[in-house]
Structure 1
Amino acid sequence: MVLRSSLKLSAALKSLNPKHVSKNLLISEINAPKVSEKSLVNKTENIHLSQAFYNGKEIDKDKLLQDMLVYEDFLTESEEKTLLDEIEPYLKRLRYEFDHWDDAIHGYRETERLHWNEDNSKTLKKVRDIAFPPDIAQLAHVHVLDLAPKGFIKPHIDAVRFCGTTIAGLSLLSDSVMRLVHDKKKLYTADVLLKRRSLYIMRNSARFDYTHEILNEKESVFNKKEVPRDRRVSIICRNEPLPEFRD
């Protein structure tokens, strides 16, 4: 049975009509946050912007690129296995659901976890230290979302009542493609390649101004190359809602 707070997270998904087609271009420059580990490099080649960002000046592409970050190989194979070893016994007791109540997610199972073993606590602390400033209150529960090989997430913006300015997610077991689409200017899109064991950080403008989705297996293409989809488990940390949006 999914935790009550997990149901709130599901309720936060605002489903929109997908169908966004655009020509993508490679982005080679980005301002990444400073991190202590030399191995952590924000992989700018994993983000492609649509032609609209270059043809017009309505939307600031640099702002988006500062707020959507991707770190390849954030996890080692051992760290990925240790995380899966802890959550698999519970996930295996759940059935994949294909009829989400608001039609936002297809082929998924989910839970939240408050307590982790020592090794995984260290891994999640590394995520939190990079994603959130020290003075930002964070949600204690970690969201675990398991997508079946044919599962996908439709475009949505997480409700401000349930989480704050930043979402940080680990990608386990499979590569996938996340698509961002500006909520009001639909031609402004960004495809983001989320490789297995990578970390993405989505904050501020990327969090509030763009819908995000995980493409299904038939649409899973990045830079004109197919990105094979398999089962994907994401482990997601969030900060608390801003005071003005709390219930």
Structure 2
Amino acid sequence: MRELHPHLDRLKYEYNHWDDAIHGFREIERSRWSKSSSNILARIRHLAFPGPEKQQLPQTHILDLAQSGVIKPHVDSVRFCGNIICGVCLLSDAVMRLVNVDHKDQIVDVLLQRCSLYIMKDQSRFNYTHEVLGDKESFFGNEAVERGRRVSIICRNHPSEKN
């Protein structure tokens, strides 16, 4: 976070996203990191992305979600990334909800604890919407999950040539 603060602090939180999926966010992309951060990202990428490194997008996406911010249900566009996305959840716990696009009664809530790594691939990427619940809706089971500001460091692979 020390490395990201100078870049994020210059930005205002936005409430209009091009596809209306995110409200209350700031975002940047980075391809240059300090040596220690580069080492951590290399370990994450090695775990999340089997195969040649050239299949990974070189930029790392940083999404800063305000305490009042939300990510609405959506399926990521295949134009911008491939079948794998991974992220490190920083600063605050959050609840990610996955809902099957064909069977709306198939719902999975995932607790993203602060400093946890999540990996979404294949079916979870394309057959389920995903969203990050707002503070008032954030429950895991019967337990309220207090949401603060949440920063995600997100890595993706290239879109498939088939798409």
Tell me which residue corresponds to 1:54. none
Tell me which residue corresponds to 1:90. 7
- Give the structure with the higher percent helix: 1
Tell me which residue corresponds to 1:233. 151
SS at match of 1:139: coil
What amino acid maps onto 1:103 in structure 2? D
Rounded Cα–Cα distance in structure 2 between residues aligned with 1:149 and 1:102: 21
SS at match of 1:86: coil
SS at match of 1:243: coil
Q: Per-residue displacement from partner, 1:31-83 (whole Å, max 9, x unpaired)?
A: xxxxxxxxxxxxxxxxxxxxxxxxxxxxxxxxxxxxxxxxxxxxxxxxxxxxx
SS at match of 2:17: coil
- Give the number of the structure whose alpha-carbon radius of gyration is greater: 1
Q: Per-residue displacement from partner, 1:60-119 (whole Å, max 9, x unpaired)?
A: xxxxxxxxxxxxxxxxxxxxxxxx111110100000012324321110000100111100
- Give the structure with the higher percent strand: 2
Q: Which moved more, 1:163-172 or 1:101-110?
A: 101-110
Tell me which residue corresponds to 1:114. 31
What amino acid maps onto 2:75 in structure 1? I
5+ residue gaps, structure 1, are 1-83
Rounded Cα–Cα distance in structure 2 between residues aligned with 1:90 and 1:183: 36
What amino acid maps onto 1:108 in structure 2? F
5+ residue gaps, structure 2, are none
Q: TM-score, normalised by structure 1?
A: 0.64
The answer to whether the aligner puts 1:175 opposite 2:97 as a matched pair is no
What amino acid maps onto 1:221 in structure 2? F
Rounded Cα–Cα distance in structure 2 between residues aligned with 1:133 and 1:100: 31
Cα RMSD after superposing both structures: 0.9
> Per-residue deviation at 1:161?
1.1
Rounded Cα–Cα distance in structure 2 between residues aligned with 1:102 and 1:122: 33
1:160 to 71, 78, 84: 78
1:211 to 105, 129, 154: 129
Rounded Cα–Cα distance in structure 2 between residues aligned with 1:242 and 1:164: 6
Tell me which residue corresponds to 1:127. 44
> Per-residue deviation at 1:149?
0.4
Q: Per-residue displacement from partner, 1:206-233 (whole Å, max 9, x unpaired)?
A: 0110000000001000011000000000
> Per-residue deviation at 1:202?
0.4
Q: Per-residue displacement from partner, 1:141-182 (whole Å, max 9, x unpaired)?
A: 000000000001000111111100101000000000000000
Rounded Cα–Cα distance in structure 1 between residues aligned with 2:107 and 2:155: 24
Tell me which residue corresponds to 2:113. 195
What amino acid maps onto 1:138 in structure 2? Q
> How many percent of aligned residue pairs carry the same amino acid?
55
